[in-house]
Chain A
Amino acid sequence: MSTIKTSIARRSFLKSSALAGGGLMLGFSWLASCQTKTEAEILAMPKEWFDINSYLKIGDNGVVTIYTPNPEFGQNVRTSMPMLVAEELDIDWKKVLVEQAPYHPKNFGFQFTGGSRGIMSRWEPLRMAGASARQMLRTAAAAIWEVPVEEITTEGGMLFHEPTNKSAGYGEMASAAVDVPVPTEVKLKDSKDFKIIGHSKKNVDAHNIVTGKTTFGMDYQKEGMLIAMIVHPPAFGMTLKSIEDTQVKTMSGIKDVITIKSYPKDYQKGSFDANAFPEIVAIVGSSTWQVMKAKKQLKVEWQPIAASTETILGFRGDKQTKHIPAGLESTDTHRSQMEALAAKPGKIVRQDGDPRSAFKKAAKIIERTYEAPFLAHNCMEPLNAFAHVTGDKAMIAAPIQIPGFVMPTLAASLGIPVENIDMELTRMGGGFGRKAYGHYVLEAALISQKVNAPVKLIYTREDDMTNGIYRPTYQATYRAALDDNNDLIALHVKAGGIPESPLFANRFPAGALDNYLAEEWSADSNITIGAFRAPRSNFMAGAEQSFLDEVAEAAGKDPIDFRLDLLKRAKENPVGEKNDYDAARYAGVLELVKEKAGWGDNQTGVHRGVSAYFCHNTYAAHILDMTIEDGKPVVQKVCCVIDCGVVVNPDAAINMAEGAITDGVGNAFFGEMTFKNGVPEKNNFHQYRMIRIGEAPKAIEVHFVENDISPTGMGEPPFPPIFGAVANALYKATGKRRYRQPFLGEEHVLG
Chain B
Amino acid sequence: MAIFNLNINGKKQQVDTDPDTPLLWVLRDHFHLKGTKYGCGIAQCGACTIHVDGVAMRSCSLPISAISEQKIKTIEGLSEAGDHPVQKAWMSHDVPQCGYCQAGQIMSAAALLENNPNPNDTDIDAAMHGNICRCGTYLRIKAAIKTAAKMG
Find B97's partner among A37, A378, A656 (CB 8 Å cutoff): A656
21 pairs, CB–CB < 8 Å, chain A vs chain B: A73-B98, A74-B135, A202-B91, A203-B96, A206-B95, A209-B96, A210-B91, A210-B96, A212-B76, A212-B103, A287-B21, A287-B30, A288-B28, A289-B18, A289-B29, A380-B37, A380-B100, A430-B134, A656-B97, A684-B44, A692-B138
A380–B137 Cα distance when bound, in Å, is 13
Neighbouring B residues of A289 by C-beta, 8 Å: 17-18, 20-22, 25, 29
A716 within 8 A of B: no
Count CB-based A-B contacts (< 8 Å): 197
- Flag if B25 contacts A428 (CB, 8 Å): no
Interface centre among A211, A293, A431 (most CB of B within 10 A): A211
Q: Which of A404-412, A556-564, A659-667 forms part of the interface with chain B?
A: A659-667
- Known A652-B94, A659-B135, A691-B136: A212·B100 in contact at CB below 8 Å: no
13 additional A-B residue pairs with CB within 8 Å, beyond A74-B98, A203-B96, A658-B136: A36-B83, A209-B103, A211-B78, A216-B99, A289-B25, A289-B29, A290-B18, A293-B20, A430-B100, A659-B97, A691-B136, A691-B138, A692-B131
Neighbouring B residues of A651 by C-beta, 8 Å: 94
A207 within 8 A of B: yes
- Flag if A219 contacts B34 (CB, 8 Å): yes
A214–B82 Cα distance when bound, in Å, is 13
A705 within 8 A of B: no
Neighbouring A residues of B56 by C-beta, 8 Å: none
Interface residues of B (CB under 8 A from A): 1, 17-18, 20-22, 25, 28-30, 32-42, 44-45, 47, 74-76, 78-79, 81-83, 87, 90-91, 94-103, 106, 121, 124-126, 128-129, 131-142
A202–B20 Cα distance when bound, in Å, is 42
Report A248-294 residues with CB < 8 Å from chain B CB: 252, 287-290, 292-293
Neighbouring A residues of B41 by C-beta, 8 Å: 292, 460-461, 684
A427 within 8 A of B: yes
- Flag if A206 contacts B29 (CB, 8 Å): no
- Flag if B91 contacts A205 (CB, 8 Å): no
Find A694's partner among B17, B100, B125, B134 (CB 8 Å cutoff): B125
Interface residues of A (CB under 8 A from B): 35-37, 73-76, 202-203, 205-207, 209-216, 218-219, 221, 227, 252, 287-290, 292-293, 378-382, 427-432, 458, 460-461, 651-652, 655-656, 658-663, 666, 684-686, 690-694, 696-700
A685–B44 Cα distance when bound, in Å, is 6
Neighbouring A residues of B39 by C-beta, 8 Å: 380-382, 461, 685
- Flag if A381 contacts B98 (CB, 8 Å): yes
A666–B133 Cα distance when bound, in Å, is 11
**Shortest distance from the beta carbon of B89 to any chain A beta carbon, whole Å:** 9
Interface centre among A35, A74, A693, A698 (most CB of B within 10 A): A693
- Known A36-B81, A215-B34, A656-B97: A380·B47 in contact at CB below 8 Å: yes
A580–B39 Cα distance when bound, in Å, is 40
A460's closest neighbor in chain B, by CB? Answer: B41
A458–B33 Cα distance when bound, in Å, is 17
A692's closest neighbor in chain B, by CB? Answer: B129
- Flag if B97 contacts A75 (CB, 8 Å): yes
**Shortest distance from the beta carbon of B102 to any chain A beta carbon, whole Å:** 5
Neighbouring A residues of B97 by C-beta, 8 Å: 74-76, 655-656, 659
A666's closest neighbor in chain B, by CB? Answer: B136
- Flag if B40 contacts A461 (CB, 8 Å): yes
A38's closest neighbor in chain B, by CB? Answer: B81
A652's closest neighbor in chain B, by CB? Answer: B94
Neighbouring B residues of A432 by C-beta, 8 Å: 134
Neighbouring A residues of B37 by C-beta, 8 Å: 216, 218, 380-381, 429
Neighbouring B residues of A205 by C-beta, 8 Å: 96, 99
- Flag if B82 contacts A221 (CB, 8 Å): no
- Flag if B139 contacts A696 (CB, 8 Å): yes
Neighbouring A residues of B47 by C-beta, 8 Å: 380
A652–B98 Cα distance when bound, in Å, is 12
A519–B17 Cα distance when bound, in Å, is 61
User: Interface majority SS on B: helix, strand, loop or mixed?
Assistant: loop
A426–B37 Cα distance when bound, in Å, is 15
A512–B94 Cα distance when bound, in Å, is 42
**Shortest distance from the beta carbon of B112 to any chain A beta carbon, whole Å:** 12
- Flag if B136 contacts A696 (CB, 8 Å): yes
A664's closest neighbor in chain B, by CB? Answer: B136
Neighbouring A residues of B139 by C-beta, 8 Å: 658, 662, 696-697, 699-700
Neighbouring A residues of B138 by C-beta, 8 Å: 662, 691-693, 696
Neighbouring A residues of B79 by C-beta, 8 Å: 211
- Flag if A211 contacts B40 (CB, 8 Å): no
Neighbouring A residues of B36 by C-beta, 8 Å: 212
A430–B134 Cα distance when bound, in Å, is 8
Interface centre among A76, A203, A209, A460 (most CB of B within 10 A): A209
Find B137's partner among A219, A381, A659 (CB 8 Å cutoff): A659
Interface centre among A73, A219, A292 (most CB of B within 10 A): A219
B75's closest neighbor in chain A, by CB? Answer: A212
- Flag if A380 contacts B22 (CB, 8 Å): no
Q: Which 4 A-B pairs have the closest CB atoms?
A: A212-B35, A429-B100, A662-B136, A74-B98
**Shortest distance from the beta carbon of A186 to any chain B beta carbon, whole Å:** 32
A649's closest neighbor in chain B, by CB? Answer: B94
Neighbouring A residues of B18 by C-beta, 8 Å: 252, 289-290, 293
A698–B121 Cα distance when bound, in Å, is 10
A285–B87 Cα distance when bound, in Å, is 36
- Flag if A288 contacts B81 (CB, 8 Å): no
Neighbouring B residues of A380 by C-beta, 8 Å: 37, 39, 45, 47, 98, 100-101, 132-135
Neighbouring B residues of A429 by C-beta, 8 Å: 37, 98-101
Neighbouring B residues of A696 by C-beta, 8 Å: 136, 138-139
- Flag if B131 contacts A430 (CB, 8 Å): no
- Flag if A211 contacts B96 (CB, 8 Å): no
- Known A210-B91, A658-B136, A662-B136: A288·B98 in contact at CB below 8 Å: no
- Flag if A685 contacts B132 (CB, 8 Å): yes
A221–B42 Cα distance when bound, in Å, is 24
A340–B146 Cα distance when bound, in Å, is 53
Find B25's partner among A207, A288, A427 (CB 8 Å cutoff): A288
- Known A289-B22, A430-B100: A206·B132 in contact at CB below 8 Å: no
- Flag if A378 contacts B134 (CB, 8 Å): yes
Neighbouring A residues of B125 by C-beta, 8 Å: 693-694
Neighbouring A residues of B102 by C-beta, 8 Å: 209-210
- Flag if A663 contacts B136 (CB, 8 Å): yes
Neighbouring B residues of A381 by C-beta, 8 Å: 37, 39, 98, 100
Find A693's partner among B44, B99, B142 (CB 8 Å cutoff): B142
Neighbouring B residues of A287 by C-beta, 8 Å: 17, 21, 25, 29-30
Neighbouring A residues of B74 by C-beta, 8 Å: 212
A427–B76 Cα distance when bound, in Å, is 19
A194–B69 Cα distance when bound, in Å, is 57
Neighbouring B residues of A36 by C-beta, 8 Å: 81-83
A698–B138 Cα distance when bound, in Å, is 9
Neighbouring A residues of B30 by C-beta, 8 Å: 287
- Flag if B94 contacts A659 (CB, 8 Å): no
Neighbouring B residues of A210 by C-beta, 8 Å: 75, 82, 87, 90-91, 96, 102-103, 106
